[in-house]
Amino acid sequence: MPLLAWALTGDSRKTDVVAPLVKPAELKGYARFSLLGKDYPALIKHNETSIVDGLLLCPQNKSQRRNLDDFEGEAYTVTPAQVAVVGEEGQIVEADIYLWNGERDAVSADCWDLDTFIKERLDDWIELFGGMQLVGDDEDA
């Protein structure tokens, strides 16, 4: 959650701000793969039995959404999808996902694992982004 806190607020320590905005969710028909030489994943359309576990984020304002879009960057396309909220039986919601829009040759056959990223790379990412400023304004409009 520290990296998401940085992406939304500019401060990786503000996980208390981010925690109420997320719920565990599942996305069917997609898969998350490693990218060759990268720490971050590619979400791609996959077979209908594939399920990606993740978080449903409900930003509080347009500024947080803009910050997240900027963090994800141009290699991803915002795409609407139906996600199932975990723990709320039968609740399906419309959400935007960040679908890989980069080179297909960059996608590994290996699944990307969040726990491995947290254990092996998260501290490096927090250190990298810790000295950076978010671009843009803080307006909620």
Tell me if 33 sits within 8 A of 52, measured CB to CB. no
More confident residue, 72 or 138: 72
Is the pLDDT confidence value at 115 over 80?
yes
Domain that holds residue 93: 22-130
Domain count, the chain: 1
Is the residue at 17 inside a domain? no
How large a percentage of the chain has pLDDT more than 90? 60
Is the residue at 111 inside a domain? yes
CATH number for 126: 3.10.490.10
pLDDT of residue 141: 44
Q: For all residues of the chain together, what is the average pLDDT?
A: 87
Which pTM was predicted?
Answer: 0.81
Mean pLDDT (whole number) for 49-69: 93
CB contact set of 136 (below 8 Å; sequence gap of 6+):
63, 66, 67, 70
Strand locations in the chain (E) = 22-28, 30-35, 41-45, 51-57, 76-85, 92-100, 107-111
